[in-house]
Structure 1
Amino acid sequence: MIKKRNINILSPKEFAKRVITYTVVSLGLLIFSLGIGVLGYHFIGGLDWVDSIYNASMILTGMGPVDEMKTDAAKLFASAYALFSGVVFLSTVAIFFAPFAHRLMHLLRVDDLDEN
């Protein structure tokens, strides 16, 4: 027997609000993470502000380091920031795409598959 189910899909207006909320959270996480990198590269790595932003941006997006770190403290910071950035970048992508994946699962009625 086939059961008819009422699918509770958000209205386009509510969905847009959810997408905006998740986008703001994603951008906030990226800006916070970039700030950590900029401050670390400036104060620990001894780079000027523009080079700090450049290095932190390249690491955060997975492109790799630009400037060589000269002190042991700077090298340790760069290593920790690289590991941190990998996790943050993937988490940010997941947060950003979560509302779209959730809506797609509702549209495809994935929850009905669990009952069979």
Structure 2
Amino acid sequence: MADTKTKTGRWLGIFSPLERREEPLAPRWLFVRRLAINVGIALLVVLISLFAGMLGYHHFEELDWTESFGHAAMILGGMGPYGPPKHESSELFEGIYALYSGLLLVGVTGLILSPVFHRVMHQLHLPDDTEVEGDTAKPKLKPRSKTKA
């Protein structure tokens, strides 16, 4: 099996590796980039799913393309179908497409929100600037560099 990781640790050159617990918080531009990539992927998946629904309605219900778009968009958006299906095969298609659309909603929501959740969790787990000793908190002291006199 071919190795899909590049030398920098990115998967297919799209996703940057997430920072670990001991690493500092990623800069804001990197967070916005991660969010934009995830939104773009989610939009692409939704558009492909909409087109697949249009194909199904065009084939099984024998609707024209604009009506197929309307029916597929209503199911994909969670509103439900316009009316009862005409054929038994279209009933099966509508049921499968509705189940798929519900799972797609959960998946796309998770994909879009994952960079936000990661950033919030990383901020909550960053080390504090103070050390707690007993009942008092003291700021951490930075080590002094040794200079020759």
Both structures adopt the same fold (TM-score exceeding 0.5): yes
Q: Tell which has more relative contact order, 1 or 2 (C-alpha 8 A, sep 6+).
A: 1
| Corresponding residue number in structure 2 for 1:105 | 121
Give the 3-state SS of the residue equivalent to 1:65 in structure 2: coil
User: Is there any run of 5+ residues in structure 1 with no aligned partner, and where?
Assistant: 111-116
Contact 1:7 1:106 in 2 (8 A): no
**Between structures 1 and 2, the one with greater strand share:** 2
Contact 1:69 1:75 in 2 (8 A): yes
Q: Percent identity?
A: 35
- The structure with more radius of gyration: 2
Give the 3-state SS of the residue equivalent to 2:86 in structure 1: coil
Paired amino acid for 1:57: A
Paired amino acid for 1:39: L
Deviations 1:59-89 (A, max 9, x none): 1121111133111111110111011111011
Contact 1:55 1:67 in 2 (8 A): no
| Corresponding residue number in structure 2 for 1:82 | 98
Paired amino acid for 2:83: D
Q: Distance in 2 between matches of 1:47 and 1:26?
A: 27
**Misfit runs of 4+, over 3 Å:** none
Paired amino acid for 2:32: A
Contact 1:38 1:53 in 2 (8 A): yes
Contact 1:38 1:49 in 2 (8 A): yes
| Corresponding residue number in structure 1 for 2:144 | none
Calculate the TM-score normalised by the size of structure 1: 0.85
Q: Give the drift of 1:10.
A: 1.2
**Between structures 1 and 2, the one with greater helix share:** 1
| Corresponding residue number in structure 1 for 2:85 | 69
Aligned partner of 1:48 among 61, 64, 67: 64
| Corresponding residue number in structure 2 for 1:96 | 112
Q: Give the drift of 1:6.
A: 4.8
Calculate the TM-score normalised by the size of structure 2: 0.67
1:11 aligns with 2:27: yes
Q: Give the drift of 1:8.
A: 2.4
Q: Give the drift of 1:7.
A: 4.4
User: Is there any run of 5+ residues in structure 2 with no aligned partner, and where?
Assistant: 1-20, 127-149
| Corresponding residue number in structure 2 for 1:33 | 49
